[in-house]
Chain A
């Protein structure tokens, strides 16, 4: 290798010249040295002599150009020869280039040091003084380089903030831009927590919105957005004020002449989660609204700025949507995703515009518009009207596959207002199928969903078309035509539709459908498997009327009350004779089964996470955000959009699931929130039964189960969490009151007395809490209080008029939960070691057996009464009291092994025991059923049931 060294370089390496003044390396030498450095096969000896040569050059040369190249070579050396990196670092450091008179060289040496540090060397600690003095040096490029790279040198944030703020006034626009970008970087929670400082940064950024240079303005928009959001998040009271302020500022940039600035502005608008309704609506109209002019008020804007604010907001989204550049249009469509959630009126008007956007010439924009619509559909905001259909269904004919697919995704979720639009949609989908047969699987799936969502419409279409088909084909259906296949899918789905019982689809259709089994089942893989489908089809083809009835009856049987898509698959499994999946406590099977269309909301929801001041609060904050949104879906529950509600709730749940890695404090809160979501979900399912339009069809059984489940969930919510405030406690109690009221308001309710008793008990509990704190009771609470007082004073036990209770329901509305303090989750883990279906525990029949359990208890205090419940296959149950005093003293986590005695071993070769830990609910004074030796009150279970396998001694 040595012989490859170019002679000149060889010379300069080999012979340290006698005359150091002549020792400066020529550019050619440096270039050849570099090639040696970056060639991996250069021997170490050559490298070390290069190192020495360079060292000499660094020490002796005064020529800045040579020094520059030398530094570059050192940086290469350090990156290609990690072994040398520490000596390079030392050399550069000791050579004190930092204090040399050339700021450029100083910056370059810093770069070398920093890049070595980033590869694991000693970190560069540039003191604030030298950083500042370098920044003020004459070289502009060094200044902007330093500002850009400040993070690498661990400069304190407050020095940085001052520097950035100062340099936003630099005469050089690139420095201003860099300074603004730096400010954006500092707008992180935990860096600046002083209101005035945040405000200062925000105002400075706002000033620069008027800069003459495009790129400075676009950096300024980013900075305004970042700091504005900090201000918004700073204080709940001023939240709306700052949010409006920020919104108006960003809107004023929506008409900038630079495309980049506009894109930034619209991107930033999409990050705003709250804004006054009149401001928001103004964005859709170029004319300043009459009320703004008349009232002289505009959101939270100061009176003096109303006119100018209104004119800068006016029509800005319309402008964005009809912008010349597709980048801007796309960004505007995207920002509509968050904005439509803020106001229903806005979302309705924005939808009209979005539908027009579907005529846009750019595919990206059309796709983004459709994605925004999908997002709206997920939140139940997509109110499609007849006038939209032409444009909307036109997208199904689009030449682009992703556009068609995005349109169909929306169709899966959309709620069509009438049969005309439904027919149009079905025709559109079938046209799509005929023109683009490659979409078949997806189209069938869409048809299935749309049919299931609009059972009645589907049914009427089928009957209409069926007659036509029969007439036209004289009894012979052309199965191969796409249209027929599509209609068959519709027929299947319509039958599965919720609340559709009087089914009169000719059974023969289902036998036709059997012939298309393969194609259909491919399309419906996410819903049911081929066997289930076949069984279902053959059942239906015998008699639809019967099977539909049976179908629904069976649906009540498994404890899956809501007719979700998952439960229907579950039922069809049963028809097929296969065993239904076991019902697991605390887990909703329906919730676990998801299908693709419903995965979308998660991504959407997670993009909502706002700004947070500290990591801890991040979780709490987002949780409160979710709680706020949960509150917002109450009208949906009330008006019976159960499926939508469930979908949204599921998305929240998925969002929550992403917070698992938080601190102890947030773990409890997350668990609490999850439980709360379960309660709301169950409430939504129960509420369905109380809708006026709902026919009384499913029988009381289903409702009772649903109510029971709601009660269980609430009980868990009430007793499994500690650290709740009085208000929170009240909110839970209110839900309990609601449950009792719901129970009492159904005529058929058979356990009225018990419910009444429970109601008055809870009401008095509420009263006692109200007395404790100065909390205003909600309307519902006070109304219930009055009624329960009445019932208590009147002849006790007399059946009450259910209508009185039904009246009460009007007063209820879901309050927003706010989590602030620490919430602890009471839970237990129970493990029976070395026991599974293969390894059994030995027992002797009729003699007690000890079951060794490893138990971990979280957040349980000694007041709690814990029981181990053991249930045999025949449902006979035995309770064993867990005396907490015996096991450690720590309240937070106790871990111990306890041998649980089981007395009534059966006379059998083997048996299975379901074992579980429960806690007595302290607040429920009504003993459910008095059991001998058992708990006095209702139990709340703290863990999943474990199966313990036992077999007779000598049998395994």
Chain B
């Protein structure tokens, strides 16, 4: 119990434990997502990604900031991974196997299923092709995945007594989830990457209207507003169709999972309708395997795919063939899906080198490419010469079509989500600094929600103030209770003991005092027939009624009650004390021992004045006059 509130104050702020948000990655940049949130004594790491644009220590989040001693098990309660993209999971095996974190890791089932192959693919590219020093081994990946606890959408998981997490569908890629996290009464949502509009293969993000203290949201497209997807699809199809009709080759660099499936469903439909026979290739076995995953994890796809699943699986592509390296220089038109998406290396780079110099060919680029990648260079202007490395320069003459569809939500979607959830605070991550600043302004001006966009390694402290709103002033009397890690609330004083499971303590004062009965001789002599003992007994019995009458005269208006054994006035009660040694007796006995009668009184503090008044009446009583 911290405060007792009386009166009509409408709202009061009470300082409480803040939510601390340490941004280790994706702060004012896109890449290596990693946010560590401390709330009510728990510490959760959201995502553990790596930055593809760097090849040194900067690719990993700076884990030393979590714990200088390196005892991560103590420092973190758990890790939550939103989806299998490398910028969200890439550093996980390093962190668990090399840095030595052994606590629980949570991710959705599809993420758990697909992450190992993603990580392995990345490891191979890094180590085998580039000959770099290995960050983690295949065994590390396997060991790391053993620590993972898989969760389902909308499944509530109690991590420990206080920490609860729940996944919500996020769209974006297969198995992507937003995580709701609650410790005590503080609750936050970390979105990871999400998509607010459905696409051909995945549904739109879906979440309940929750009471949130903080929303940490991605902001890849903080200022972009996309038009209807219908026209974007039509543009893409038109460009591809034009190119293959002219005998050109279309290179679609994508990440293995997600966009490849989406575009492929689109192309399949179009091929079917237009009766085209030009081959569509998937570059690696991985993508074919990914299709298999899609077929298995159908419940994570869009409403439409789910509905039609019983008749035809949308991922059974009829026109798609496997691609062989030897086909790169084969003549004739074709469409090729190749990894990785940003042409940052690997097969897509290999094909790009071969196809880029021909004007007939077409390269489609995704809506976003990380800085430093070739994709980013191609996007950022009419570059005809691209420096592959120090010595090689590539002459790019092919057409470039930028696909404006992306599995990320646009600015409108972010605003829609923030508006729907109406959290008390928003933190933007996973975006570009100037754009994030614009969005930050919009969130504050349009929705009136405080918003931050911290840089990497910055900590945002959210003063989680408790707002106790008193709506009805007439009922504004109660006890404000603030328990650890719970919202402050007002209870009625009767409820309080019940809530705390305590018994009520009552402080009472007690006083036992003698009254000289000398003056009562006359009264006694009227009853001479009995023995002195009996006489004193009968005399005693008659005194209380006498007192009662007296008090009634003296205290007009007081609520005086006579119960035979005692007289009660408010909390004050008086009775004859028959004990020989009463603990409340201050004066042991009056000078004339046998003539004294003891009265024992008790009262509570509220009636102290009254008590002393009564006592003085009793002491000064002239019984003779009665």
Question: Which residues of chain A from 301 to 316 have any CB-CB distance to chain B below 8 Å in the complex?
Answer: 307-308, 311-312, 314-315
A interface residue count range (under 10 / 10 to 19 / 20 to 34 / 35 or more): 20 to 34
* B446 cross-chain contacts in A, Cβ below 8 A: 307-308, 311
- Judge whether A922 is part of the interface by a CB distance below 8 angstroms: no
B412 touches which of A257, A314, A359, A361 (Cβ 8 Å): A314
Mask, A272-299, CB within 8 Å of B = 1, is: 0000000000000111000000000000
CB < 8 Å neighbour of A315 from B198, B207, B412: B412
- Name the distance in Å between A394's Cβ and chain B's nearest Cβ: 8
Distance of A844 from chain B, by nearest CB (Å): 84
Task: Decide if the interface of chain A is mainly helix, strand, loop or mixed.
Answer: loop
Contacts of A353 in B (CB 8 A): 228, 230
Q: Which of A186-214 contact B (CB under 8 A)?
A: 210-212
Assess whether A408 is interfacial by the CB under 8 Å rule: no
Residues of B within 8 A of A256 (CB): 420
Q: Could you say which of A212, A307, A314, A318 contacts B209, with CB atoms under 8 Å apart?
A: A212
Q: Are A212 and B420 in contact (CB under 8 A)?
A: no
| Contact with A323, one of B198, B308, B447 (Cβ below 8 angstroms) | B198
A324 with B412, Cβ < 8 A, contacts A255-B420, A257-B208, A362-B304 known: no
Contact of A324 among B203, B208, B415 (CB under 8 A): B203
Nearest A residue to B209 via CB reads A212
Task: Label chain B's interface by main secondary structure.
Answer: loop
Contact A322 B211 (CB under 8 A): no
CB distance from A215 to the nearest CB of B (A): 12
B208 and A212 contact, CB distance less than 8 A:
yes
- Chain A residues with Cβ below 8 Å from B205 are 257
Which residue of A321, A324, A362 is within 8 Å of B228 (Cβ)? Answer: A321
Kindly state whether residue A909 has any CB partner on chain B within 8 Å. Answer: no
CB distance from B331 to the nearest CB of A (A): 31
Most chain B beta-carbon contacts within 10 A, residue among A314, A322, A357? A322
A3-B156 Cα distance, complex, nearest whole Å: 58
A530 to B303, CA, bound (A): 51
Closest Cβ–Cβ distance, residue A290 to chain B (whole Å)? 13
Contact between B231 and A257 (Cβ–Cβ < 8 Å)?
no
Tell me, in angstroms, the Cα distance from A936 to B491 when the chains sit together.
93
Q: Which of A318, A321, A323 has the most CB of B within 10 A?
A: A318
Q: What string of 1s and 0s marks CB contacts (under 8 Å) between A638-653 and chain B? A: 0000000000000000
Flag if B198 contacts A257 (CB, 8 Å): no
The reply to whether the CB of A68 lies closer than 8 angstroms to some CB of chain B is no
Residues of A within 8 Å of B203, CB to CB, are: 324
Interface string of A335-354 (1 = CB under 8 A from B): 00000000000000000010
* A322→B226 contact, CB < 8 A: no
Task: Tell me if B566 is interfacial: C-beta within 8 Å of chain A.
Answer: no
* B225 contacts chain A at the CB level, 8 A cutoff: yes
Q: Which residues of B contact A323 (CB under 8 A)?
A: 198, 204
Q: How far is the CA of A852 from the CA of B360 in the complex (A)?
A: 95
Chain A, residue nearest B422 (CB): A210
A955 → chain B closest CB, angstroms: 79
Q: Are B420 and A257 in contact (CB under 8 A)?
A: yes
A314 CA to B225 CA, complexed, in Å: 11
Q: Which residues of A contact B211 (CB under 8 A)?
A: 212
Does A356 reach chain B (CB closer than 8 Å)?
yes
Within 8 A of B (CB), among A865-919: none
Q: A803 at interface (Cβ–Cβ under 8 A)?
A: no
Interface mask (A245-272 → B, CB under 8 Å = 1, otherwise 0): 0000000000111000000000000000
Smallest beta-carbon distance B22→chain A, Å:
29
> Does A322 lie within 8 Å of B208, measured CB to CB?
no
Residues of A close to B416: CB separation below 8 A: 255
**B192-225 interface (Cβ within 8 A of A):** 197-198, 203-211, 225
CB of B313 closer than 8 Å to a CB of A: no
Partner of A325, one of B210, B234, B303, B308: B303
Shortest C-beta distance, B215 to chain A (Å), equals: 14
Q: Which residues of B contact A319 (CB under 8 A)?
A: 197
Q: Say whether B445 contacts A322, CB under 8 Å.
A: no
Alpha-carbon gap, A692 to B153, bound state (A): 67
Among A255, A357, A361, the residue within 8 A (CB) of B304 is: A361
Contacts of A321 in B (CB 8 A): 228
Judge if B406 is at the interface, Cβ distance under 8 Å: no
**How many angstroms between the C-alpha atoms of A256 and B203 in the bound complex?**
14
How far is B230's CA from A356's CA once the two chains are assembled, in angstroms?
A: 6
Report whether A322 and B209 are in contact in the complex, using a CB–CB cutoff of 8 Å.
no
- Given that A212-B211, A323-B198, A362-B304 are known contacts, is A257 also in contact with B206, CB under 8 Å in the complex? yes
Cβ–Cβ contact A286 & B225, under 8 A: yes
- Whether B391 is near chain A, meaning CB under 8 Å from some CB there, is no
Q: Within the complex, which residue of A212, A312, A322, A357 is in contact with B198, where a contact is CB–CB below 8 Å? A: A322
**Assembled-state Cα–Cα distance A461/B562 (Å):** 117
Minimum distance in angstroms from A346 CB to a CB of chain B: 15
B56 within 8 A of A: no
Q: Which residues of A contact B226 (CB under 8 A)?
A: 286
Q: Is the CB of A287 within 8 A of B420?
A: no
The residues of A that contact B308 with a CB separation of less than 8 Å are 361
State in angstroms the CA–CA spacing of A244 and B445 once bound together: 23
- For A356, the chain B residues whose CB sits under 8 A away are 228, 230-231, 234
- Least Cβ–Cβ distance between B616 and chain A, in angstroms: 51
Task: Point out the residues of chain A lying under 8 angstroms from B419, CB to CB.
Answer: 255, 312
Q: Which chain B residue shows the least CB distance to A284?
A: B228
A256 to B445, CA, bound (A): 21
Residues of B with C-beta under 8 A to A308 = 446-447
Contact A311–B208 (Cβ < 8 Å): no
Question: Chain B residue with minimal CB distance to A356?
Answer: B230
Distance of B407 from chain A, by nearest CB (Å): 14
B589 in the interface, Cβ–Cβ < 8 Å? no
Q: Which residues of A contact B204 (CB under 8 A)?
A: 323-324
B227 at the interface (CB under 8 A from A): yes
| Minimum CB distance partner of A324 in chain B | B198
**B302 at the binding interface (Cβ < 8 Å):** yes
Complex contact A257–B209 (CB within 8 A): yes
Q: Which residues of B contact A362 (CB under 8 A)?
A: 304
Chain B residues closer than 8 Å to A210, beta-carbon distance: 209, 422
Q: How distant is the Cα of A4 from the Cα of B265 in the complex, in angstroms?
A: 67
If A257-B209, A308-B446, A311-B446 touch, whether A322 touches B228 (CB-CB below 8 Å) is yes
Q: Complex formed: what's the CA distance from A353 to B303 in Å? A: 21
Choose one: B207, B230, B302, B410; the contact of A257 (CB below 8 Å). Answer: B207
Give the CA-CA distance A286 to B419 in the complex, in Å: 15
Asked whether, in the complex, the Cβ of B208 is within 8 Å of the Cβ of A307, the reply is: no
How far, in Å, is B296 (CB) from chain A's closest CB? 21
What CA separation (Å) do A352 and B309 show in the bound complex? 30
Q: How far is the CA of A563 from the CA of B397 in the complex (A)?
A: 62
The yes or no answer to B229 lying at the interface (CB within 8 A) is yes
CB distance from A863 to the nearest CB of B (A): 66
Q: Measured between alpha carbons, how far is A359 from B269 in the docked complex, in Å?
A: 11
Complex: how many Å from CA A358 to CA B446? 36
Chain A residues with CB under 8 A of B304: 324, 326, 361-362
Complex CA–CA separation, A211 to B230 (angstroms): 33
Chain B residue nearest to A362 (CB atoms) is: B304
Q: Are B228 and A318 in contact (CB under 8 A)?
A: yes
Contacts of B230 in A (CB 8 A): 322, 353, 356-357, 359
CB distance from A253 to the nearest CB of B (A): 10
B-chain residues with CB within 8 Å of residue A217 when the two chains form the complex = 209
Instruction: Please indicate the chain B residues that have their CB under 8 angstroms from the CB of A322 in the complex.
Output: 197-198, 228-230
Bound Cα distance from A285 to B228, whole angstroms? 9
Across the two chains, which residue of chain B brings its CB closest to A394? B273
Query: Within the assembled complex, what's the spacing in Å between the Cα atoms of A326 and B203?
Result: 12
Would you mind naming 8 contact pairs between A and B with Cβ atoms under 8 Å apart? A210-B209, A212-B210, A255-B419, A286-B410, A308-B446, A322-B197, A353-B230, A362-B304
Besides A212-B209, A356-B234, 19 more A-B contacts (Cβ < 8 Å) are A210-B209, A256-B420, A257-B208, A285-B227, A286-B225, A286-B410, A286-B412, A318-B227, A318-B228, A321-B228, A322-B198, A322-B228, A324-B204, A324-B303, A326-B304, A353-B228, A356-B228, A356-B231, A361-B304
Among all A-B residue pairs, the 10 with the closest Cβ atoms: A324-B198, A356-B230, A255-B416, A212-B209, A324-B303, A324-B203, A286-B225, A318-B228, A286-B412, A287-B225
